[in-house]
Structure 1
């Protein structure tokens, strides 16, 4: 069935766009990293399942009939032009949009087989299980140690030895421990931008999440810091399910196992990253990743 936004697609596409035999301008895939194949993604257990999701800001519909499976312990990247709904959809996955007045969700989102909008869902607990890292690093005005241990403390943990153990483990997972182990009582604001972002990742990991959501986590960073964040994402997928929003298709090609392309509030195509960037099924996807629009 054609959605309300589908009729806009043809008008938005360049009238003279023609298919090419090869996607010569598509992002280059990183052959040095092991990514999941289409069959491996199909065989993987689904961590998040989204069915027939519509989302509204007041009377404005921002997402149309989204259906997507996010496989466990894989990196799923959302790509698409600005305003296409990818960040809105990301925030649906831990109900961050609930904080915006007048929003409404229709459809179904399951985390580990449980309905995210069920009557007994504790949203605070949900956001511990589905942590989030934002575009701009947002450390608390506290020490490095206090930033990482904030979540466990709020949850009631008071044992200092346990808290320090959690901090060390999470800072190591965030590839930051060696840089800050001798300055844990310094202000988090004394860190560089890239270090602050890795601190925010460590803070998210401290609540032992099942899923880590990242909304443009490296867009404000320099190339060296971006590379470290990408390496970190790839390492963390062995322990966590990761979903990342990025405007950078090269980044999606480098770090993700699965890529989902959004356009005007619709999910146009999703599949194994290697397949989507080399042999996309939809012409809209090809036109976007080869730079014809967007």
Structure 2
């Protein structure tokens, strides 16, 4: 992969929870305007790595790291890094939908209001744009003052995606975003991600091998804290270079 195509690069990144080492020398480059899937069995380190990308571990007691993660060729751990600004650039969507106990409109407007990303007169347009990008506008345009928690599970997850998009990030991180959704809602999210990669760089953690094969352009396989293999999804799924990758993808362990 040509390094200039990567928006984010991990360089020998190591992470500990107290005395327990969770990640070992993670090195990879995340391509721009593509979907990268991180796969592997539970506890393998993929979510730890995902949360490292926008420094979600900062307030976790006892953690430490070495190595580096660079966004647009700048270390995210550099002294003086504005972590709030980093999280605006690198949005996060969690496993279970977590809308705020606020109206739909206020859920999406929350980030731009809090961080003064747009003057008040521009907020309605920004909210509509984010909801349209999340393929939710037509379903909620007449329900903007209703609580976000009143939406269906799939709608709530798309609302959370819209909330992240309202900050106009460069990257979107998703930690098993479909694990709590039914097949129809899952399909909507997958179709949405394929559309969004035209504008955003996306990294998704998933236990669903079929989902990774359907939506991702690149795949990284994690196993006991190691990034065993990273490549195009076609290569990883059809011509894996490591027997552990093949064993996991074919269901011989999980």
**Structure 2: gaps spanning 5 or more residues:** none
Residue 293 of structure 1: CA displacement?
Answer: 1.2
Structure-2-length-normalised TM-score: 0.98
Per-residue displacement from partner, 1:207-238 (whole Å, max 9, x unpaired)? 11000000000000000000000000110000
Per-residue displacement from partner, 1:152-186 (whole Å, max 9, x unpaired)? 10112574431000010000000000000011111
Match of 2:92 in 1: 132
SS at match of 1:185: coil
Q: Does 1:186 align with 2:146?
A: yes
- Is the 1:194–1:226 contact (alpha carbons within 8 Å) kept by the matching residues of 2? yes
Per-residue displacement from partner, 1:51-101 (whole Å, max 9, x unpaired)? 111100011100001101000111000000000000001001000011211
Per-residue displacement from partner, 1:102-138 (whole Å, max 9, x unpaired)? 1101001100011000002011111110000000111
**RMSD of aligned C-alpha atoms?**
1.1
SS at match of 1:189: helix
Q: Identify the match of residue 231 of structure 2 among 265, 271, 276.
A: 271
- Is the 2:117–2:167 contact (alpha carbons within 8 Å) kept by the matching residues of 1? no
Q: Identify the match of residue 260 of structure 1 among 220, 227, 236.
A: 220
Kindly tell me the number of residue pairs found equivalent between the two proteins.
Answer: 254
Quick one: distance in 1 between partners of 2:168 and 2:252?
42
Q: Does 1:225 align with 2:185?
A: yes
Q: Identify the match of residue 28 of structure 2 among 63, 68, 80.
A: 68
Quick one: distance in 2 between partners of 1:210 and 1:156?
18
Match of 1:3 in 2: none
Quick one: distance in 1 between partners of 2:178 and 2:100?
19
Match of 1:83 in 2: 43
Quick one: distance in 1 between partners of 2:117 and 2:32?
28
Structure-1-length-normalised TM-score: 0.85
Q: Identify the match of residue 216 of structure 1 among 176, 193, 201.
A: 176
Match of 1:207 in 2: 167
Q: Does 1:120 align with 2:80?
A: yes
Moved beyond 2 Å, runs of 4+? 41-44, 156-161
Q: Does 1:292 align with 2:249?
A: no
Match of 2:123 in 1: 163
Larger radius of gyration: 1
SS at match of 1:108: strand
Quick one: distance in 2 between partners of 1:177 and 1:126?
27
Q: Identify the match of residue 133 of structure 2 among 173, 187, 210.
A: 173
Q: Identify the match of residue 211 of structure 2 among 240, 251, 260.
A: 251
